[in-house]
Chains A and B, each alone.
Chain A
């Protein structure tokens, strides 16, 4: 398996522009997570999906952020309009629920390094 795939790996954009980050989870996984990592705030969970349905988006910083999962093999995180404080590494992760309410580890993608000028 190729693992979790994210694109682009690096994105440099100007303030006010729309940014779309993409994620392909591991085939068969039923959970998908979006995280943001910065030196100042560490690792933050933004939103996660179960079977393509958003379960908890309380970590999404503001209305400029939105995420979708139209099918089991694809998710997007969109920032519109982008601001310099959105500069961070954005990770996507996926996992597979186990039996009897047992949850397995998350597999992280390589991340997208976003720089907003």
Chain B
């Protein structure tokens, strides 16, 4: 059974960087990152196709977020630099999947809480 295992919670200072990992068991697939600030909605950040070494980012995060993959360990990383208080959120990795011409997110990791605090 495919699972996504994420790294543990982080507490970071403003201006620092954080790197969250997501290990996928059971195959290679497109991994997407979505974050959710406390009490707020879902915000798509970007995705990586490890088999194609292709990444796509939401414009808001372009230049501040880097998504990489280590194919040897089936692990995807999301690194965010220049952290601000408003980056405090739960960061989810998830599997992009599809049926016919439709694409959707059908498997989610448990989430990693990143807290930005001075």
Please determine whether chains A and B interact with each other in the same assembly: no
